[in-house]
Structure 1
Amino acid sequence: MKNNLITPRRFWRTGTVAAALAVGLTSSCGKFLDVAPQGQPTSQQFFQTQADATVAVNAPYGKLREWNLSAFNWLAVTTLTSDDAEKGSVSGDAEFLNEFTFFRLTPTSGPVQGYWDGQYQQINLCNQVIQNVPGVNMDATLRGRYVGEAQFLRGLAYFNLVRAYGGVPLLLKVAETAEELNPSRATRDEVYTAIINDATAAAAVLPAAYGASDVGRATKGAALTLLAKAQLYQKNYAASLAASDQVLTLGYSLASNFYDMFRIRGENNSESIFEVQCTTLAGNCDASNSQWAECQMVRPQFGWGFFNPTSDLANAFEPGDQRRLGTILERGTTTPDGDVIAANSSNPRYNMKAYVPNSAPKTCGYGRDQNIRVFRLGEVLLLNAEAANELGQTAKALAAVNRVRTRAGLSALPGSISQADLRQAIWKERRVELALEYGDRFFDLVRQGRAATVLASKGFVAGKNELMPLPLNQITLSGGKLTQNPGY
């Protein structure tokens, strides 16, 4: 079921509250701080009622659908940098994307700036909620939940930032002074501490599930999944295992059909932990849909044809692995939903997870209703398996990873497997289970220490390309307070 509550149409007023800060974050002009926004409510004026708080907490959910956080800029940074995807489309179309495919990106590359902007705009929206909602006269339980939702979403934004750029400025309150508007870079560990704190606080107050009208909001399971993932990136395996163990007690179950899980009919299913909700609102096509699916789909039949699966990914699936059908859409074939994919399509392969049957409504364009899957049980099982294996708990690790393999139609890994071999097997399962989904492959390769080897043919330079460059514009606006990453 779609949740039409979490839509931009209901929080445009919050954007006016945040607009002044959004400008301030890209300006070092102190005089701006002395002038109240004309014709716009200040945060003190806006946050008066429970309805105002609801409007505000809905805002960052809508932001997740925005171009910088779901389409070209997001996919360039998270997906083209991996061995799972290539630019696609046709020669000459959006050639700037190949800067990411072949690691020719620079501090002035558009997606480097766009990705940064999108995450910090999201953080600003979350900070408005976290700072102002506690002062609103409203139901106390709901007030705490709204703050928890914003803490989860802020933690997710910082997780996306720290993996891409390393240590970044930490803004944990609404910036008001000139110094707060121009912070130095925090360390990587300091950013992870903030993420872990946000996820922990959110997990303590968020419910395990919602009623139908609130489907899509952050849950305890979503916060714990973020916590498990952040702890794994920090190699805090015991803490990661404890968090994923908690998720496994919350009643999620693996979807029986991998292909169906990524169709509109499979949204918010028993496996889903957190999805970006995308819905067409009649008469308002800019409100609550995304272009995540459209920019990846078959060109010219359905979409724009970008971000195509590589042959290396297509060949990574074991014979009989049912996930291949749910991941790789090949030209000249017929989908399980009956669409014949033209044999003369511009590219040989497309992302099946972004495929929307042609019979679906296209009021606002192709695939605009397709939810974006962020966290699900399949990944939690693999997080659990990886942490358990690193702690020497082989039987526990095997139980988790083999649940994923069994759903895919594959045989179980043997009980005699070594820790080193099981580590490699779990890493492979992460690739084929989560490919082209929410941009994990490149970051996985970096944290596993394998990026320089696996991505060598793409021009990856060790000691440099583990991180994106900071946008040059941000360094300039900071007056040099922000320092560039090595090699750029």
Structure 2
Amino acid sequence: MKKLLIIFSLVAFAGCNDDFLDVPLEDSTPAEEFFVNQEDALEATNQIYAYQRNFSLCGFPYLAIFHITSDDSDKGSNPGDAAFLNDFDKFTFDASAFSIDGYWTGQYRGINFANQVITNVPDIDMNADLKNRLLAEAKFFRGYHYFNLVRVFAGVPIYDGLPEDGNYNIPRNTKEEVYDFAIQNLTEAAEVLPVSYGATDEGRATKGAAKGILAKIALYQKDWAKVKMLTEEVMGMGYSLYPDYYELFRYQNEYNSEIIFDIQSTADSNCQASSQYGQIQGVRAQYGWGFNSPSEDLANTYEEGDVRRDASILFVGETTPEGDLITAGNDASNPPRYNQKIYVSSADFRRNNCAENSDSNIPVLRYADILLMNAEANNELGNTSAALESLNKVRERAGLEDSQTTDQSALRLEIYHERRVELALEGERFFDLVRTGRAGQVLRSKGKSFTDGVNEIFPIPANQITLSNDVLTQNPGY
């Protein structure tokens, strides 16, 4: 039978490096010849982390699905460049879209990396505590990838380890089964993962990261009591809001008190371990390709005095705090606004011989998100004072007055708004609209052709259905 996954080819290393991010991409060893000792187990787990920088996970496929579909982002660049992204802006894509296929295969390759560790590492004679931790890290990523898949496609095939018969051609599981599997993996990971690591292991998955993603799953399932419980647990782990919202996103301040989990892109002098996440969004004709342009609607939604507006959006014609004049090549066909969260100064954007800003980390989960999830859960549970306490911590950092709203419906809308402006251009907006039932109303009001009952999820890639000999079925409406 044809296989739906890219079969694992494990990267071979020349010994164990102190920096677990330094993963060379050359040469490979078949998995059956590799899992022999503790160093192999470490290197295989490190490869899961290294893979998170893959273009399918943080390049155009991710940008198309998580950003361009929302009312926070326009396609960007010039009209004819990467014109396929227009289909995501207008919701005219179909199952043949290669970005959708790329996102599917990208997530499953990450799952396959995790399954290699989960299947093979238990048989290695090595330090038991380290073994348990590495298995927990692999389970974290398996749960994380399935959460990404289920909110994009709903039900998908579950691979709990490597199939003994080699058959990857299996039907889709239900959405509920996929959520349960993700929860199982993240829960088991959270039981083992440490709260923090030493300096040489900064960036590895932690207990807070696992519980934070579990809280987000509970948010999507509207399990408010569980969201409250999990966010409170994370709130007790020592995280805090970074005082300066603008400086929060500068590469010099990576690993700060607010970052719970991010994708590691630290580069060496040869620009290994980098991604194109910043490059594809940088100011066109100056710092990158110019995609994912903040929308005018987003720019206009901030309250007066909200420092997050200027910290999130670069406007053509402005001069940055670092002294760079933003011109976008003075070309009227280029967008007038850019994502400032990925900006680095002209003095730094090619550091380590990298392409534009390609060695900056990519935030996945921040403490502000935890606070806003906690506020939303408390509001839904009728705990108004607790909801306001968490909400106002975020507002105070933004330079805004505390909310005094006590009406549950009005406060709910305030929290939705706060999520939009706090997490702008971080991939949350579209799926926040979907999970709160507002996607059709909001997106159609912004000129997008969103169809209720169809566009809340994306089509199963036509290529995957073909490869499965129609074992995979299509989502309704596609």
> Is the pair's TM-score, using the shorter chain for normalization, greater than 0.5?
yes
Hey, what does 2:266 align to over in structure 1? 279
How far the C-alpha of 1:4 sits from its partner, in A, is: 3.6
1:73 is aligned, of 50, 58, 61, to 61
2:400 is aligned, of 402, 410, 413, to 410
- Structure 1: distance between partners of 2:348 and 2:123: 44
Query: How many residues end up aligned between the 2 structures?
Result: 454
Q: How does 1:410-449 map to 2 (within 5 A)?
A: 410-414=400-404, 416-437=405-426, 439-449=427-437
Q: How does 1:28-427 map to 2 (within 5 A)?
A: 40-43=29-32, 45-177=33-165, 180-283=167-270, 285=271, 287-342=272-327, 344-345=330-331, 346-360=334-348, 362=350, 363-414=353-404, 416-427=405-416
- Structure 2: distance between partners of 1:72 and 1:102: 16
How far the C-alpha of 1:361 sits from its partner, in A, is: 5.3
Alpha carbons 1:7, 1:61 under 8 Å: kept: no
- Letter matched to residue 213 of structure 2: L
- Letter matched to residue 302 of structure 1: Y
Hey, what does 1:34 align to over in structure 2? none
- Structure 1: distance between partners of 2:58 and 2:31: 29
- Letter matched to residue 145 of structure 1: R
1:169 is paired with a residue whose SS is coil
How far the C-alpha of 1:417 sits from its partner, in A, is: 1.8
2:261 is paired with a residue whose SS is strand
2:96 is paired with a residue whose SS is coil
- Structure 1: distance between partners of 2:124 and 2:36: 6
How far the C-alpha of 1:7 sits from its partner, in A, is: 3.3
How far the C-alpha of 1:12 sits from its partner, in A, is: 5.8
Give the RMSD, CA atoms, in angstroms: 1.3
- Letter matched to residue 311 of structure 1: E
Hey, what does 1:32 align to over in structure 2? none
- Structure 2: distance between partners of 1:202 and 1:417: 38
How far the C-alpha of 1:164 sits from its partner, in A, is: 0.6
In the TM superposition, what whole-angstrom CA distance separates every residue of 1:26-82 from its partner, at most 9, and x where no partner exists? xxxxxxxxxxxxxx4343x31111100010001111111110001111111110011
In structure 2, stretches of 5+ residues that fail to align are 1-17
Alpha carbons 2:220, 2:435 under 8 Å: kept: yes
Hey, what does 1:474 align to over in structure 2? 464
Hey, what does 2:7 align to over in structure 1? none
In the TM superposition, what whole-angstrom CA distance separates every residue of 1:312-371 from its partner, at most 9, and x where no partner exists? 111111000111121110000011111111162521100001111111151121101111
- Structure 2: distance between partners of 1:167 and 1:267: 35
1:336 is paired with a residue whose SS is coil
How far the C-alpha of 1:384 sits from its partner, in A, is: 0.8
Hey, what does 1:28 align to over in structure 2? none
Hey, what does 2:443 align to over in structure 1? 455
- Structure 1: distance between partners of 2:344 and 2:35: 39
How far the C-alpha of 1:282 sits from its partner, in A, is: 2.1
1:458 is paired with a residue whose SS is coil
340-349 vs 133-142, which deviates more?
340-349
In the TM superposition, what whole-angstrom CA distance separates every residue of 1:260-315 from its partner, at most 9, and x where no partner exists? 111111211011100111122223x3x30011011101110111111100001111
Alpha carbons 1:155, 1:194 under 8 Å: kept: yes
- Structure 1: distance between partners of 2:239 and 2:398: 17
1:435 is paired with a residue whose SS is coil
Alpha carbons 2:21, 2:266 under 8 Å: kept: no
- Structure 1: distance between partners of 2:300 and 2:189: 40
1:47 is paired with a residue whose SS is coil
In the TM superposition, what whole-angstrom CA distance separates every residue of 1:135-193 from its partner, at most 9, and x where no partner exists? 21111111111111111111111111111111111112113425x41111111111111
Query: Identity of paired residues, percent?
Result: 49
Alpha carbons 1:4, 1:279 under 8 Å: kept: no
Hey, what does 2:23 align to over in structure 1? 8
- Structure 1: distance between partners of 2:297 and 2:31: 52
Q: How does 1:16-27 map to 2 (within 5 A)?
A: 16=28
- Structure 2: distance between partners of 1:203 and 1:250: 13
Alpha carbons 2:23, 2:50 under 8 Å: kept: yes
In the TM superposition, what whole-angstrom CA distance separates every residue of 1:119-147 from its partner, at most 9, and x where no partner exists? 00000001111121122111111111111
In the TM superposition, what whole-angstrom CA distance separates every residue of 1:186-232 from its partner, at most 9, and x where no partner exists? 11111111111111111110011111100010000100100100011
Hey, what does 1:35 align to over in structure 2? none
1:307 is paired with a residue whose SS is strand
- Structure 2: distance between partners of 1:91 and 1:320: 33
How far the C-alpha of 1:258 sits from its partner, in A, is: 0.5
In the TM superposition, what whole-angstrom CA distance separates every residue of 1:420-450 from its partner, at most 9, and x where no partner exists? 111111111111111111x111111011000
- Letter matched to residue 466 of structure 2: T
In structure 1, stretches of 5+ residues that fail to align are 17-39
- Letter matched to residue 231 of structure 1: A
Distance 1:147 1:420, change over 3 A: same
- Structure 1: distance between partners of 2:322 and 2:185: 41
How far the C-alpha of 1:8 sits from its partner, in A, is: 2.8
Hey, what does 2:14 align to over in structure 1? none
Alpha carbons 1:7, 1:59 under 8 Å: kept: no
